[in-house]
Structure formats: C-alpha cells, structure tokens
Amino acid sequence: MFIGDELSAAGYRLAGFAVLSPSLADCEAVLNEQLLRRPPFLLLSAEYAQALGAGSVDRMLIRFDPPVGIVRDAGGRVSAPDIARRVRRTLGIER
C-alpha cells in the first residue's frame, strides 16, 4: 500500500501497488484506517509524513505491524527523513 501525492501514486500503481492519494488534511484519518487493515507493509510519501508531524510519524514507525516506510515523493519536494539518524539520536549514540 502506498499513500501519497497523485504523481508518486501513479508510479507505484504501475508497479502493482494499491495506492491512495487523500488530501493532506485527510492523510492522518486515511493512514489510521489503513493501519487498522494491516496491509503487508505501507509506504508513505515524505510530504504526507511531514504533514502528520514528528510525533505521529514516530508512533507509526515503532508499530512494526504493519511495517511502514517513508519514501521521497516523485517531485522531490520533500526529502525522506533520516530514520537511521533518528534511531541513533533516540538511543543517545548521536546528538
């Protein structure tokens, strides 16, 4: 499952993914609904992750079921977060 902007969704659709392109305002509700359906995994565009806010994204990433990945959008407007760095900072390995 991919949730993100329409341009990126078109590419994922061509690759065989189920896709959703809600408005940014509806993203959190759509994402929560999909998390309850427990797809094998879920990809979320960086733009949509940014609209959710850091706290929501952190809670989503630690769920592990389904696994969630944040990917760069096709237009490159928003970069995907550096998850490895966030983990190192959380563990106190890096500032």
88 against 41, higher pLDDT: 41
Nearest to 47 by CA among 77, 83, 84, 68: 77
For residue 71, what are the CA distances in angstroms to 46, 75, 92, 95? 6, 12, 25, 24
**How far, in Å, CA of 82 to CA of 87, rounded?**
9
Element (H, E) at 90: helix 83-90
In the numeric block, which tokens belong to residue 63?
A: 């769920």
Which of the residue ranges 3-12, 29-38, 59-68 has the most confident prediction, judged by mean pLDDT? 3-12
Q: Cβ distance 69 to 40 under 8 Å? A: no
Q: Work out the pLDDT band at 80, boundaries 50, 70, 90.
A: low
35: its two tokens? 């998390």
Which of the pair, 86 or 19, is modelled with greater confidence? 19
pTM above 0.85, yes or no: no
Closest CA to 73 of 38, 43, 31: 43
pLDDT in tens, 53-74: 777 777 777 766 788 888 887 7
